[in-house]
Structure 1
Amino acid sequence: MSLDDLYRFGKLEKHSTTSEEIAGLFDVAKRYLKDASQDSISAELRYIAAYQAALAAGEAFLHCNGYKTPKMSHHYMVWEALRQVLDKSFKEQLALFNDARNKRADAFYDHAGLINETEYKEVFDESKRFVESLRGKIKKDFPSLWKGIR
């Protein structure tokens, strides 16, 4: 399935982005990674922040490809769309973030003490790598949208 297929099925919307929007999403990712590194908050909140950093970078890459997700099933569709557009080297990261999506929802809405330090550290480390990987891909594949990204 392609991004165009997801669009035809109503799972994605067309989106024209700007370098400012992309820079803004990477600023959000940077802020979440900073928040995720704070030992003074619970492993659950750090996990959620690390996940959100990866999500923001994923949204930026999806926007560079001319699409955005609708509000319904937003998180799920970001990961599903990225599976269609990123190469196989991202397969394990995308699976991890999709699993983290479910755990994030449970930790955020339903259960305390659900996430341990090891799980947090795995998502945090992968989020840092993912954000940097997508930053590099945008610089290479979408140079006109790269300016302003810090």
Structure 2
Amino acid sequence: MADRDLRDRAAKGLSEDWQLAIAYNAALQCATAALAACGYRSSREAHHYRVIQSLALTIGADAKLVSRLDAFRKKRNIGDYERSGLVSEKEAEEIAMLARQLRKDVENWLRKNHSHLI
């Protein structure tokens, strides 16, 4: 799903809000895969927050990455539930870059720690 989302967010004509939401979903799917590989899943309450925070414990993500992803989680929430037009082109590109890197990091981590799942 992450690969699909990373590909789809590059479609022409999408607003920056939507590009961010799609790339954010790719990152969330990667974090969810890492959590599932460890035998866990997040509760429904604060699901996105918990999955993002779990990256420090699953793949050993540094605090800066977790913090940036959490900031994008908040930005996506505003765009989805409150108002649109707040996402810049730079932010849409940054979350896409973070999601692509996270996808690589999770895949490498899976190969090293849970190769039977690949």
Q: TM-score scaled to structure 1, two decimals?
A: 0.75
Q: Does 1:47 align with 2:28?
A: no
Q: Name the residue aligned to 1:142.
A: 114
Q: CA RMSD in A?
A: 1.2
- Counterparts in 2 of 1:1-150, with a 5 A limit? 28-87=1-60, 90-146=62-118
Q: Aligned equivalents of 2:65 and 2:53: distance in 1? A: 12
Shift of 1:71: 1.2
Q: Aligned pairs, how many?
A: 118
Q: What is the Cα deviation at residue 135 of structure 1? A: 0.8
Return the alpha-carbon distance in structure 2 between the equivalents of residues 125 and 39 of structure 1: 17
Distance in structure 2 (CA, Å) of the matches to 1:44 and 1:75: 18
How far apart are the structure 1 equivalents of 2:102 and 2:60?
13
Q: Amino acid of the residue matched to residue 141 of structure 1?
A: N
Does the 8 A contact of 2:24 with 2:72 survive in 1? yes
Q: Which residue of 2 aligns with 1:13?
A: none
CA displacement 1:99-147 (0-9 Å, x = unmatched): 111110000111111101011111111110111110111011101111x
Q: What does the per-residue CA deviation read over 1:47-73, in whole Å, with 9 as the maximum and x for residues that have no partner?
A: 110010000010000000110001111
The one-letter code matched in structure 1 to 2:46 is: S
Distance 2:73 2:55 in 1: 14
Contact 1:51 1:101 in 2 (8 A): yes
* Structure 2 unmatched ranges of 5 or more: none
Deviation >3 Å, runs of 4+: none
